[in-house]
């Protein structure tokens, strides 16, 4: 298969629009950017298209997919039994990086819900994602466009690395703005529960709903509430450890590792820009100024992928304890590290 690659401006051409629509309707896959990460899309009601996603990603079949819609009101077509506050959340946060888990209607196939009675639904805000939904006029399931287990794709080159000539169409939308996946919120009960933290935080949700449960860092002792949470995720090829302590302790610990390692084994460090010069001899990837959380979130997955490209076998990442995205960042880092943390 030879992948057809389109750019944003191509989406105004009639023949490209037809190609995207026909590809999805015939049960094949289209990769497109969203504001969170790149998604690999299939027509939600096409068994062939959905199977294609699971196959090409190598995704376990009990890890459900998020259904993307381009119109708020479509949520009523596919889900039912809404709590009164659901509409308030939609008004406040859609389009945007918030997935709502609701009771599904019969027409939503179990193949996308991993056999569950609920389905996750989101209206993305990225203009290309919305355009793809509008052109095709169908609901689209679009999990992150990465081989299962690897870091999500936030740059077009990541998508090429994983899927070139393995899907029909890819749309290049440059860098993902948010860079980590949507907040997943179970809204089936009176009090909503955060199943996966994201940039729409518990505090932000609580400006709309009086109480929200969860949002803390997921550790291996928790019972996974979103089926996908039990799987290894975001993992680089090398062995990643999160290092948690004050800045001086972290620098001295990592420096010691750099100085005592076998010289053939270069160590990788993921840190904020202020620490860039602190780790001589290591492969350092700085992901943003300490107070620039948006920038840090948008660069995290690129940092993990850069470690793979440089064939780094041992990676240390500094822990994040400050700022509104700390739960979302630590959730991704701890999974990438397979829960390995060094507390100093």
Residues in touch with ligand AMP (CB under 6 A): 63-66, 101, 113, 116, 118-120, 143-144, 181, 184, 195-196, 226-229
Q: Which is nearer to Mg ion, 144 or 183 (CB)?
A: 144
CA nearest to 1, candidates 165, 172, 201, 171? 165
Rounded to the nearest whole angstrom, what is the least distance from the CB of residue 135 to ligand AMP in the complex? 21
Would you tell me how many other CB atoms lie within 10 Å of the CB of residue 211?
10
What is the Cα gyration radius of the chain? 20
Q: How far is CA 275 from CA 34, 83, 107, 180, 309, in A?
A: 31, 47, 52, 23, 22
Per-residue contact string for residues 155-194; x = within reach of Mg ion by CB under 5 A:
----------------------------------------
Among Mg ion, ligand AMP, none, residue 168 binds (CB under 5-8 Å by kind): none
Rounded to the nearest whole angstrom, what is the least distance from the CB of residue 228 to Mg ion in the complex? 7
Residue 191 · residue 84 · CB < 8 Å = no
Q: Which is nearer to ligand AMP, 145 or 267 (CB)?
A: 145
Q: Which is nearer to ligand AMP, 113 or 298 (CB)?
A: 113
Among ligand AMP, Mg ion, none, residue 70 binds (CB under 5-8 Å by kind): none
Q: Which is nearer to ligand AMP, 119 or 128 (CB)?
A: 119
Q: Which is nearer to ligand AMP, 158 or 196 (CB)?
A: 196
Q: Which is nearer to ligand AMP, 116 or 247 (CB)?
A: 116
Rounded to the nearest whole angstrom, what is the least distance from the CB of residue 333 to ligand AMP in the complex? 16
- The set of long-range contacts for 271-276, using a CB threshold of 8 Å and a minimum separation of 24, is 271/317, 271/318, 272/296, 272/318, 275/247, 275/250, 275/251, 275/318
Place of tokens 């991704």: 332
Rounded to the nearest whole angstrom, what is the least distance from the CB of residue 181 to ligand AMP in the complex? 4
Among Mg ion, ligand AMP, none, residue 297 binds (CB under 5-8 Å by kind): none
Between CA 303 and CA 305 the distance in angstroms is 5
Between CA 283 and CA 294 the distance in angstroms is 23
23 is a site residue for Mg ion (CB under 5 A): no
Indicate the residue whose CB is closest to Mg ion: 144
CA nearest to 268, candidates 295, 228, 237, 223? 237
Rounded to the nearest whole angstrom, what is the least distance from the CB of residue 195 to ligand AMP in the complex? 5
Among Mg ion, ligand AMP, none, residue 195 binds (CB under 5-8 Å by kind): ligand AMP
Q: What are phi and psi of 106, to 5 degrees?
A: -60, -35
Where in 92-151 is the site for Mg ion (CB under 5 A)? 144
Tokens coding 145: 């466009």
Rounded to the nearest whole angstrom, what is the least distance from the CB of residue 113 to ligand AMP in the complex? 5
166: enclosing H helix or E strand: none
Where in 27-46 is the site for Mg ion (CB under 5 A)? none
Place of tokens 């027409």: 107
Place of tokens 């041992």: 314
Q: Which is nearer to ligand AMP, 4 or 77 (CB)?
A: 77
Omega of the bond prior to 38 within 30 degrees of 0, cis? no
Residues that bind Mg ion (CB under 5 A): 144
């Amino acid at each position: 298969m030879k992948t057809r690659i389109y750019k944003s401006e191509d989406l105004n051409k009639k023949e490209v629009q037809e190609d995207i629509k026909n590809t999805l309707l015939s049960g094949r896959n289209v990769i497109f950017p969203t504001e969170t990460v790149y998604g690999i899309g299939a027509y939600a009601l096409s068994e062939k298209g959905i199977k294609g996603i699971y196959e090409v990603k190598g995704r376990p079949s009990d890890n459900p997919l998020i259904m993307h819609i381009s119109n708020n009101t479509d949520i009523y077509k596919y889900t039912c039994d809404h709590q009164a506050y659901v509409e308030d959340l939609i008004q406040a946060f859609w389009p945007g990086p918030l997935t709502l888990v609701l009771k599904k209607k019969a027409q939503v196939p179990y193949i996308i819900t991993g056999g569950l009675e609920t389905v996750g639904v989101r209206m993305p805000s990225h203009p290309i994602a919305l355009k793809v939904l509008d052109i095709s006029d169908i609901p689209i399931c679009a999990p992150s466009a990465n081989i299962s287990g690897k870091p999500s794709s936030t740059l077009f080159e990541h998508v090429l690395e994983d899927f070139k000539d393995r899907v029909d169409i890819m749309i290049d939308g440059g860098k993902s703005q948010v860079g980590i996946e949507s907040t997943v919120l179970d809204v089936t009960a009176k009090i909503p529960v955060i199943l996966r933290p994201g940039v729409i935080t518990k505090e932000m949700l609580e400006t709309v709903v009086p109480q929200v449960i969860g949002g803390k860092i997921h550790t291996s002792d928790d019972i996974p509430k979103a089926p996908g949470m039990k799987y290894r995720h975001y993992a680089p090829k090398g062995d990643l450890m999160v290092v948690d302590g004050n800045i001086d302790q972290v620098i001295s610990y990592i420096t010691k590792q750099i100085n005592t390692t076998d010289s053939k084994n270069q160590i990788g460090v993921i840190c904020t820009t202020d620490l860039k010069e602190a780790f001589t001899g290591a492969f350092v990837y700085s992901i943003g100024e300490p107070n620039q959380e948006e920038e840090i979130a948008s660069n995290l997955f690129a940092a993990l992928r850069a470690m793979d490209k440089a064939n780094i076998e041992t990676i240390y990442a500094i822990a994040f304890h400050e700022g509104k995205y700390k739960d979302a960042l630590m959730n991704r880092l701890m999974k990438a590290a397979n829960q390995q943390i060094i507390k100093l």
